[in-house]
Amino acid sequence: MRKILRTFITILIMILGIFVILKYVPMGGFKEAKKEVKNPNNILVLVNRNFVLADSYKPKDLVIPKVGFAENITSEEKYMRKEASKALEKLFSKAKQENSQLYLVSGFRSYNTQKQLYETRAKQNGKAQADKYVATAGNSEHQTGLAADITNKQGSKGSLTTDFGQTKEGKWLKNNAHKYGFIVRYPLGKEKITGYSYEPWHLRYVGNKTSKNIYEKGIVLEEFVQNEKKTAEN
């Protein structure tokens, strides 16, 4: 009788453990509990699955950078915050000088636009697939006006794919974006930390000093922010 009882208790604990994992760690160790971002205008603002922007947030200094645009870009997505926009112009100009023609696929996206985008992807491909590549409304860096999806001529006429990372332009971005204040936000091998699958096209503006720091250390924004927090506490 005791043996049966112990077996029952063991099974019950295992079931409860699985329930907790499924409920609170949906991907990459990220919990569903979210905290609202308190410093949305900060260049180093951290927005991910845990940190969410208010649905009403929209940067006040949005401008249209003088760069090439993908064919299917919307009017809204042409905008970026002024500082990031100027940096993107310099990045595109240098890339062109070095025979890499780049195109902006998506810059700023509002809360409502992101909501529609996520719902459409989830409806077409299922929630699990949508969660890998598309942020839910409020959890997208595009709402900050500091993120930019970039591609080459071929990608500017279609959808973004990870193959871009193996193209001449994709390799150029990986090796040079940090020189202009940008980082490749979702690099290969860091999925458990960022919470998103590999996206060689997604750049995030963080400023020259921080971008070089992140690039040289081979870390991502989450790790940089955590390191800064530890340094401040010591």
Catalytic residues: 199
> What is the distance between the alpha carbons of residues 15 and 175, in angstroms, rounded to a whole number?
46
Q: Give the CA radius of gyration of the chain.
A: 20
Q: Where are the alpha helices (DSSP H) in 25-98?
A: 82-97
- Give burial (CB, 10 Å; 0-12/13-18/19+) of 136: middle
Report the Cα 58 to chain-centroid distance in Å: 17
CA atoms within 13 A on the CB side of 185: 24
User: From CA 203, how far away is CA 225, in angstroms rounded?
Assistant: 17
Residue 71 contacts residue 157 (beta carbons within 8 Å) = yes
